[in-house]
Amino acid sequence: MLSTGQLTTALIVLPFLAAIACYFIRVGQIRSLIVLFTGGVLVFSAFMLIPRTPLSLSPQPFWGVSTHTVVQVMDFLLLLIILYFGFKHRHIVIQTLSLLQIVSLVYLEFFLIQDKADASTLYCDHLTLVLLLIVAIVGSLICLQAIPYMKNHEEHLRLKRSGQHRFFAVMMLFLGAMNGLVLSNDMTFFYFFFELTTLCSFLLIAHDGTRTAVNNAVRALWMNSLGGAAFIIGMIILYTDSGTLELQRIMVSGEMGGSLYLLSLSLLCFAAFTKSAQFPFQSWLLGAMVAPTPVSALLHSSTMVKVGVYLVLRLAPAINGTFLSQSIALFGAFTFLCAAALAVGQSNGKKVLAYSTISNLGLIFACAGLNTPESIIAGILLIVFHAVIKALLFLCVGAVEQRIASRDIEDMRGLYADMPLTALMTVMGVIMMIMPPFGLLLSKWMAMEAAASNLYLIMVITLGSALTVMYWARWAGTLMSDPFAGKFRPERQPVLTWAALGLLCAGAGLLSTAAPWLYARMIVPASGAAVPPYSAHYGILENPYGAFAVFPLSLVAVLGFVVAVLAVKRATRARVVKPYLSGVQTAEPGTFTGPMNQPVKAEAKNYYLSSIFGEKKLTTWINLGAGILLTLMVGGAL
pLDDT tens profile 29-61? 999 999 999 999 999 999 999 999 888 887 777
> What's the maximum distance between 2 C-alpha atoms anywhere in the chain?
89
pLDDT (average), residues 71-89: 96
| Interval 242-265: pLDDT, tens | 888 898 888 775 555 566 889 999
Do residues 306 and 387 touch, judged by C-beta distance below 8 A?
Answer: yes
pLDDT over threshold 80, residue 217: yes
Do residues 285 and 217 touch, judged by C-beta distance below 8 A?
Answer: no
Q: What percent of the chain has pLDDT over 70?
A: 96
Do residues 593 and 584 touch, judged by C-beta distance below 8 A?
Answer: yes
Residue scoring higher pLDDT (179 or 526) = 179
Do residues 324 and 312 touch, judged by C-beta distance below 8 A?
Answer: no
Half-sphere exposure for 539 (CA within 13 Å, toward CB): 15
pLDDT over threshold 70, residue 236: yes
Nearest CA to 196 out of 264, 101, 121, 268 is that of 101
58/408 Cα distance (integer angstroms): 51
Half-sphere exposure for 208 (CA within 13 Å, toward CB): 22
| Interval 463-476: pLDDT, tens | 999 999 999 999 88
pLDDT over threshold 60, residue 118: no
254/469 Cα distance (integer angstroms): 41
Q: Which run of H or of E encompasses 549?
A: strand 546-549
The confidence score (pLDDT) of residue 549 equals: 86
527 CB-contact burial (10 Å; exposed 0-12 / middle 13-18 / buried 19+): buried
pLDDT (average), residues 349-353: 92
In Å, what is the CA distance from 282 to each residue of 200, 216, 619? 18, 12, 10
What is the arrangement of strands in the sheet containing 599-601, beginning at the earlier edge strand?
A: 584-585, 591-593, 599-601
Residue scoring higher pLDDT (64 or 132) = 132
298/398 Cα distance (integer angstroms): 12
pLDDT (average), residues 428-441: 90
The confidence score (pLDDT) of residue 328 equals: 96
CA angle 373, 375, 380 (to 5 degrees): 95
Do residues 113 and 472 touch, judged by C-beta distance below 8 A?
Answer: no
CA dihedral of 12, 81, 139, 180, whole degrees rounded to 10: 30
Do residues 580 and 572 touch, judged by C-beta distance below 8 A?
Answer: no
pLDDT (average), residues 612-628: 93
535/540 Cα distance (integer angstroms): 8
pLDDT over threshold 90, residue 553: no
Angle between helix 373-404 and 439-451 (nearest 10): 140
Residue scoring higher pLDDT (62 or 465) = 465
559/554 Cα distance (integer angstroms): 9
pLDDT (average), residues 445-450: 92
The confidence score (pLDDT) of residue 2 equals: 80
The confidence score (pLDDT) of residue 478 equals: 86
| Interval 172-195: pLDDT, tens | 999 999 999 999 999 999 999 999
328/217 Cα distance (integer angstroms): 28
Angle between helix 28-48 and 140-157 (nearest 10): 160
Range from 17-21, 129-133, 417-421 carrying the lowest mean pLDDT: 417-421
Residue scoring higher pLDDT (121 or 366) = 366
pTM above 0.85, yes or no: yes
Identify the band that residue 458 occupies on the pLDDT scale cut at 50, 70 and 90.
very high
The confidence score (pLDDT) of residue 244 equals: 85
What letter does residue 348 receive in the DSSP assignment? Answer: B
| Interval 602-617: pLDDT, tens | 777 777 888 889 898 9
Identify the band that residue 230 occupies on the pLDDT scale cut at 50, 70 and 90.
very high
CA angle 353, 355, 359 (to 5 degrees): 115
pLDDT over threshold 90, residue 121: no
Angle between helix 439-451 and 455-479 (nearest 10): 160
514/388 Cα distance (integer angstroms): 14
The confidence score (pLDDT) of residue 483 equals: 62
Average pLDDT, the chain: 89
The confidence score (pLDDT) of residue 303 equals: 83
177/184 Cα distance (integer angstroms): 10
